[in-house]
Amino acid sequence: MSQIARSPAIAVLGAGSWGTALALLVARNGYAVKLWDISSEHLESIKDCGENKRYLPGVALPQNLQVVADLESVLSHTCQFLVAVPSHAFRATLGRLAQFCAKAPRLLISWGTKG
């Protein structure tokens, strides 16, 4: 896409197949995307490879999709979120989200759980 990174950035919490697919969709529509996951090792692999080899092998990540391991850093740059974590991690993820969002109004766009 020729238009680079609409504003504001959108955070995608969860870098599994669903989270990565959503992050790609949003990024391909011209938004800056910050992709976060609980597993820093998984995120390092995504950064190193430029793709999510575990869940979406062969699909390159666009330049406007940034992989970020520090949740506070992700949340300090956006007020829009897509939460795409397994159902067993949903409560804990929202608890972490609430720690950083308590002082500023935020907009939760959507969440998706499974399992």
Cβ atoms of 93 and 14 closer than 8 Å: yes
Cβ-based neighbour number of residue 82 at 10 Å: 22
Q: What pLDDT shows up at residue 95? A: 87
Q: What pLDDT shows up at residue 94? A: 84
Phi, psi of 54 (to 5 degrees): -70, -40
Residue 57: pLDDT over 90? yes
What are the domain boundaries of the chain?
A: 6-112
* Alpha-carbon distances, residue 33 vs 65, 66, 109 (angstroms): 5, 6, 14
Three-point CA angle 14, 18, 19, nearest 5°: 30
Q: Domain 6-112: what homologous superfamily?
A: NAD(P)-binding Rossmann-like Domain (3.40.50.720)
- The pTM of this model reads 0.85
